[in-house]
Amino acid sequence: MMKSRKPNSLHIRLYGDKTLREVAKPITEFTDEVKNFIDDLTFTMYEKDGVGLAAPQVGRSLRIFVVDPFWFANEGKKNPLVLVNPEFKEFKGEVESDEGCLSLPGIFEPVHRAERVIIEGLNGKGKKVRYETDGLFARALQHEYDHLDGILFVDKVTKLKRIFLKKKLNDIQNTTDKNGKNIGELLL
């Protein structure tokens, strides 16, 4: 049967938003609401030209993320990978590379990550999945997983870099409203 629902574009929460700092809750049931949310999350990732997007980045404190690290390289051919309640089973090696984040516009800094990972979880339909991967894919998984624990990549840069980034971070944080929501405009 054809799906009739059109996915919605969701607001990206920016640095300073309180949801970005919460430890997200696991999914216990694959309700229609959860499935629709996953569609919206995926739609929003592509719409914002992202290679990954985690639920807390759109203001939902849930252990769900989507990644597609290769859609630019694949001439826009989309292959979204949804992970629900993910868990890393193994980390191997270490590698440093630049990262960015839709919640931290204009900031790109090198971050140390494991070179190779094994991750398990559920896909968007609630089926068990397991991936063993390296390179950009492994990096994207680690970056998005961090969002589920309230961690941002700027937490992992050197102290010196963080001092250097302070003004940029403050400028983004300053658009947070009085309820702790930051979608980049003052709502006061």
Catalytic residue set: 144
CB of 43 to Ni ion, least distance (A): 17
Look up residue 70 and give its amino acid.
F
Neighbours of 153 (CB within 10 A): 23
Site membership for Ni ion, residue 53 (CB under 5 A) = no
CB of 4 to Ni ion, least distance (A): 31
Closer by beta carbon to Ni ion, 126 or else 155: 155
Q: By C-alpha distance, which of 96, 13, 6, 93 is closest to 61?
A: 13
Site membership for Ni ion, residue 157 (CB under 5 A) = no
Tell me the DSSP string of 14-62: PTT-GGGGSPPBPP----HHHHHHHHHHHHHHHHTT-SEEEGGGGT--B
Site membership for Ni ion, residue 45 (CB under 5 A) = no
Look up residue 131 and give its amino acid.
Y
Stretch that binds Ni ion, among 13-21, 101-109, 133-141, 180-188 (CB under 5 A): 101-109
Stretch that binds Ni ion, among 40-48, 97-105, 121-129, 166-174 (CB under 5 A): 97-105
Q: By C-alpha distance, which of 175, 151, 169, 172 is closest to 65?
A: 151
Closer by beta carbon to Ni ion, 9 or else 31: 9
Site membership for Ni ion, residue 82 (CB under 5 A) = no
Closer by beta carbon to Ni ion, 43 or else 65: 65
Residues 6+ apart with CB under 8 A from 185: 175
Site membership for Ni ion, residue 101 (CB under 5 A) = yes
List residues binding Ni ion (CB under 5 A): 101
